[in-house]
């Protein structure tokens, strides 16, 4: 059985620990100071704990700027150096287009359509229940 605990991050960014995975759920716009604090906190948590992966759920984010793109890239690079992986899940098409237009390639950052799709990319066996009103997608 996997234990889940929530870490209190300044700026009210929900971060849930599911075993060796951190699930970071971004909702709306983040202030630069909050994004910077989140980056530091994720780095400290990954280095101090047995964290093997980080999932950053962007499904609640409408737009990103160059600073947020850099934060995502930095988190991916930092976790990779600390022997963990980062997967960004739930990116909206407008967010992807903005990142491309800004010239941010985000090397080393893996993506998934949903959080449920991200967990297997990290080798996690944690089960995520489907959202209400949304059917499960069948895999071939």
Exposed / middle / buried, residue 97 (Cβ in 10 Å: 0-12, 13-18, 19+)? exposed
For 62-81, give one letter per residue: b (16+ CB within 10 A) or e. eebeeebbbbbbebbebbee
CATH number of the domain bearing residue 79: 3.30.750.24
pLDDT at 132 > cutoff 80: no
Q: What's the total number of domains in the chain?
A: 1
Cα–Cα distance for residue pair 106/19, rounded to 1 Å = 26
**CB-side exposure of 135: number of CA atoms within 13 Å?**
3
- Residue 4 confidence (pLDDT): 52
User: DSSP letters of 20-74?
Assistant: TEEEEEEES---HHHHHHHHHHHHHHHHHTT--EEEEEEEE-----HHHHHHHHH
Residues 10-25, mean pLDDT to the nearest whole number: 83
CB 54 within 8 A of CB 84: yes
CB 28 within 8 A of CB 59: no
CB 37 within 8 A of CB 71: no
Task: Indicate whether 66 belongs to any domain.
Answer: yes
Task: Indicate whether 137 belongs to any domain.
Answer: no
pLDDT tens, residue by residue, 29-74: 888 888 898 999 899 999 988 899 999 999 998 888 889 888 998 9
Task: Indicate whether 129 belongs to any domain.
Answer: no
What residue numbers bound the domain in which 13 lies?
Answer: 4-121
CB 72 within 8 A of CB 109: yes
């Amino acid at each position: 059985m996997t234990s889940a605990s929530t870490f209190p991050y300044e700026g009210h960014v929900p971060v849930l620990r599911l075993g060796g995975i951190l699930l970071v759920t971004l909702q709306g716009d983040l202030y630069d100071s909050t994004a910077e604090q989140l980056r530091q906190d994720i780095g400290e948590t990954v280095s101090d704990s047995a964290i093997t992966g980080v999932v950053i759920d962007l499904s609640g984010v409408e737009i990103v700027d160059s600073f947020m793109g850099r934060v995502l890239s930095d988190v991916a690079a930092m976790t990779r150096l600390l022997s963990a992986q980062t997967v960004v899940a739930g990116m909206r098409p407008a967010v992807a287009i903005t990142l491309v237009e800004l010239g941010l390639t985000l090397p080393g950052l893996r993506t998934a359509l949903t959080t449920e799709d991200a967990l297997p990319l990290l080798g996690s066996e944690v089960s995520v229940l489907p959202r209400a009103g949304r059917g499960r997608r069948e895999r071939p």
